[in-house]
Amino acid sequence: MANESPYFWNEFELKQPPLVTLQVEDTGFAKNVFVVINRFLQQLSEPDAKNFEETAALIGRLMARRKNSFRNMPGFRALCKLNAALCRLLRLDLGRDLVQFRGALPDACDSDLAGPMPTRSSFEFILVRLLGFYHLHERIKECCIKAATYFIQLLRNNFFMDFTTLLIAAIAKINKLSSLQASKSANLYNKLRPQVSNFPQVAKHKFLAENQELPLKLQPLQSTNNQTKEAATPALVLKAQKIITKVEKSKLEAKSDVGTLIARKDTPETKTKFNEEALATVADAQQFIARESKARKQNPPPESCLTKSIPKHEWLAAQTLFQRKLSKDPVKALSIFRKFIISKIK
């Protein structure tokens, strides 16, 4: 008997009903079932499926390599969840269950309509395995977007350039291959689901509980519509920004010139712009770090604390990178730190 939880497809030790065959008078529908399962198994052996396993292994190695550097960062926690979902997917082994069930079906070339057929419980078990396969890919897509969103932000701030570039490329590739596999499994499920009533049922081997019902249709994760694609993976697409020259900028300003704006006297400016000259030298940066670190320790930080809106882990990462680069290239260390502070203080 299956678990009564609505997410029974997510059970690791889902009990498989015995693969029993019964003699039926009409097995004509089984040919279509045999053909679609066989086509899906051929797709699982294609190069894309092998690339998926190789990329999943690469993500696992990258996670293990940097587990101390990013341990407390939210993007790395999403990466750990992504690795757990990939490991769970490999443990599912959908291909083995499909091969076993296909072997119990009548031969697709058999012209005789009467013959042995697997029970409805065995067929429902295959559908539940397809549900688990599909929803795990949904989980993988969700973790990919969360992890990529965070690491793209690190890349924009020039943090860990080599590692984050490789990691984002691996995440984007696993996201694409996962969407393809999920779409193929959804198509297989949608073709097999209407055939449930054709399989013979045995009361002793009933698989689904009374309060459990299989969905009638699954929606493929990947769509041919470009708008759907952009909406589904906003964090995995880096759009190139158009470079505007000084001449073009002056032309745009001339077209948009509508006069001189005069500010009201009763609306004084509340925010002061950060002075970049305060970080002109390495010594200035070191004094700035010491002053801001002391202010950030107060609860709450005073109004004079310019970095109070910066998260703790980003502030610590910026200090670590500054100190690491300082001994090798002070100019580059100062430049990276200044860019980080200017991007965060508006």
CA dihedral 132, 135, 141, 143 (to 10 degrees): -80
Domain ranges of the chain: 9-232, 273-344
pTM: 0.61
Q: What would the pLDDT profile of 295-325 be if each residue is shown by its tens digit? A: 888 888 888 888 888 888 888 888 888 888 8
Contacts of 276 by beta carbon, 8 Å cutoff, 6+ apart: 338, 342
Please provide the distance, in angstroms rounded to a whole number, between the alpha carbons at the two ends of the chain: 60
Task: Choose between 158 and 36: higher pLDDT.
Answer: 36
pLDDT at 182: 93
pLDDT at 232: 38
pLDDT at 134: 93
How far is Cα 23 from Cα 233, in angstroms, rounded to an integer?
A: 49
The sign one gets for the Cα dihedral 164, 170, 175, 176 is positive
- Within 10 angstroms of residue 36's Cβ, the number of other Cβ atoms is 16
How far is Cα 92 from Cα 126, in angstroms, rounded to an integer?
A: 12
